[in-house]
Structure 1
Amino acid sequence: MAEQSDSSGEKAEPRRKTISSPYIHRLQRRHFLLFDILPIVGTAGAFAFLTVHPFGVTEFVLLFSMWLVTGLGVTVGYHRLFTHRTFSAVPWVAGVLAVLGSMAGQGGVVSWVALHRRHHEYSDREGDPHSPNLSGGGLLGTLRGLAHSHFLWMRRHEYPNVVHYAPDLIKDRALVRIARLYYYWVALGLFIPMVIGGLVSLSWSGAVSGLLWGGLVRIFVLEHIVWAINSFLHMFGTRSYVSRENSHNSGLFALVTLGESWHNNHHAFPESPSFGLDWYRLDPGFWLIKFLEICGLASDLKIPSTTRIAAKRISGKSGPVGNAA
């Protein structure tokens, strides 16, 4: 990055890529307790509450539907649209995706994007906020790395400077307004299943059960799915394409991760809206993007060419190469 000059013509200090202060660390600890620890407590409470209100069809529908829409908000909105700009969406669709992603409780959209762009810049090297491969060798180093990358890194870390990592987002006034209301969106994601649970059962216990299963358990399930990509898929799995970091694929978890488990594919082609790359690799996130394109709500899908895909394929890996359309 080029150095800036001040009004006197002297070279100014380069813009800092990260910010670290006691105030930011307090905010990180608060977020860690509210959205990483509390869902664990809430999940335990949901199982304990089964003695009061049994798990039924309503709880399953709330858990599944809220997991699906917020998960798509993260993978399609936060990740593929806002972080990597793999496609374009009409403004109201972008706004809905940002709100749904916010309901997941994984951070405001601007902060999330800045963190993930820094991850790609320094992936599995010093500066990566959540690599599992920087904690030493041996079994102890592996376990320590997995614990750090899966969960513990969120307690305290250097905060990526959003002016450096997300200048495009902070120029988008509508998106910034959504980001500023992050805590309200998380609360809305808890309020909706609580109200539905109460209305369906016409009881306070149904409302509490809806809050627990459609709210806190849903956050717990989704966040551990996302974190497993940061941790386990940077250590274990298969590699189909050349990429400079230690990313891996795991087709077994393609559906539950909404396509995110094609992680090596993603790091090899971060500009691609398709993480599966080939039609037979399940990628629900890309299915939604294609549906939006058919409806005229998404455009400019940056699918890598067959030539480029073939050029990055690791020697000895077989299988068809396609446009993943």
Structure 2
Amino acid sequence: MIILIFFLGHWFLSLFFQTFFLHRYASHKMFTTHKFFERTFHVMTYVFQGSSYLNPRAYAIMHREHHAYSDTEKDPHSPHFFKDVFQMMYYTAISYRKHEKKVKEPEERFKGNYPEWKFLDYIGSSYVSRIIFGLLYIAFYIEFATQWWMFLLIPIHIIMGPLHGAIVNWCGHKYGYSNFDNNDKSKNTTPFDFLMLGELFQNNHHKRPNNANFGAKWFEIDPVYPIMKLMHWARIIRLRKAYL
């Protein structure tokens, strides 16, 4: 039971800060917040993503490229140009690394307006940090695992961030239904969207990329949006008025 709680806790907390901080804030600026809270969210993203920490700047630039070139040859991770999800993940990792190391100059329209914290981003992206987190996961399993098969979950912990991205980018552009004609192949992958905290409402999101609510129809529930509204009410963040 302890292992299951730990796994689910890591899964959803890592995913929450990926969609809330990296996607909705860093990439799209769906809300504003005080610098103190921005730094707090930045630290929490590092802690909960752990060994698979994703640099907000690199994430934001690559995601903006994805929207601009959705499902074309310039899309950094469209599933329609790769034979399988592993090839897509490999290519995505190369593209991400170029932005992380700043060896690729992005188009001017993709630059700026994303959180940067040189010290934390350097630490979070270092092999030392990733190895330490990996060892902590292993130590936790050695202490609390009661069955051998539980250790098979450790690799998922280690690559949690990229794994979430792979699920969203592959399934969200291949399987499901479309509410809107976006001139791409984005889909809403119901009912698995709830397990991905609304991230699989890709068709809705590509139609309204700056809308904080990824759901569009009455039965499409984005579980992160009510949390954002609560944070807005508590004045931790300020959502764009058009999307309250």
Q: TM-score, normalised by structure 1?
A: 0.61
Residues 114 and 240 from structure 1, CA distance in 2 versus in 1: closer, same or farther, beyond 3 angstroms? same
Is 1:244 equivalent to 2:183 in the alignment?
Answer: yes
2:92 corresponding residue in structure 1: 154
Q: Which residue of 2 aligns with 1:183?
A: 125
Shift of 1:256: 0.9
Extract unaligned runs of 5+ from structure 1: 1-56, 136-143, 199-204, 305-324
The change in CA–CA distance for 1:68 and 1:214 in structure 2 (over 3 A counts) is farther
Cα RMSD after superposing both structures = 3.1
Indicate the SS of the match to 2:17: helix
Q: Which amino acid letter does the alignment assign opposite residue 262 of structure 1?
A: F
Q: Deviations 1:247-289 (Å, cap 9, x if unpaired)? A: 0001211221011011100000000111113454221222321
User: Deviation per CA, 1:115-141, whole angstroms, max 9, x where unpaired?
Assistant: 111111111112111112235xxxxxx
Q: What is the identity, as a one-letter code, of the residue corresponding to 1:167?
A: G
1:253-292 paired onto structure 2 within 5 Å = 253-278=192-217, 280-292=219-231
2:54 maps to amino acid: G
Say if 1:235 and 1:258 are closer, same or farther in 2 by CA, change over 3 A.
Answer: same
What amino acid does structure 2 have at the position aligned with 1:133? H
Correspondent of 1:79 among 23, 31, 45: 23
Q: Which runs of 5+ in 2 are unaligned?
A: none
Contact 1:146 1:232 in 2 (8 A): no
Post-superposition Cα deviations, 1:278-313, rounded to whole Å, max 9, x if no partner, equal: 454221222321221122101133545xxxxxxxxx
Structure 1 residue 188: deviation in Å?
A: 6.6
**Cα separation, 2, equivalents of 1:98 and 1:213:** 29
Q: Deviations over 1:83-142 (max 9, x none)?
A: 00111123233223333434431531111111111111111112111112235xxxxxxx
Kindly tell me the number of residue pairs found equivalent between the two proteins: 229
Mapped contact 2:171–2:200 kept (Cα < 8 A): no
The structure that has the greater radius of gyration is 1
Bigger CA drift: 184-193 or 278-287? 184-193
Q: 1:33-182 to 2 correspondence within 5 Å?
A: 57-102=1-46, 103-104=48-49, 105=52, 107-134=54-81, 144=83, 146-149=85-88, 151-154=89-92, 156-157=94-95, 159=99, 160-161=104-105, 164=108, 165-169=110-114, 175-182=117-124
- Cα distance in 2 for partners of 1:192, 1:219 equals 10
**Highest RCO, 1 vs 2 (Cα 8 Å, sep ≥ 6):** 2
Equivalent residue runs for 1:160-239 within 5 Å: 160-161=104-105, 164=108, 165-169=110-114, 175-183=117-125, 186=130, 189-190=133-134, 197=140, 205-206=142-143, 216-220=155-159, 223-239=162-178
Assess, with a 3 A threshold, how the Cα gap between structure 1 residues 189 and 69 changes in structure 2: closer, same or farther. Answer: farther
Deviation at 1:183, TM superposition (A): 3.1
One-letter amino acid matched to 2:198: G
Deviations 1:160-209 (A, max 9, x none): 5358323223xx56x343322223664675466567x38xxxxxx30789
User: Is contact 2:15-2:161 (8 Å) kept?
Assistant: yes
Matches of 1:125 and 1:180, distance apart in 2: 32
Preserved CA contact (<8 Å) 2:25 2:31: yes
Say whether the 8 Å CA contact 1:86–1:302 is kept in structure 2: no
Percent identity, aligned pairs only, is 18
Q: In structure 1, what residue type is equivalent to 2:204?
A: N
Aligned equivalent of 1:310: none
1:101 partner letter: T
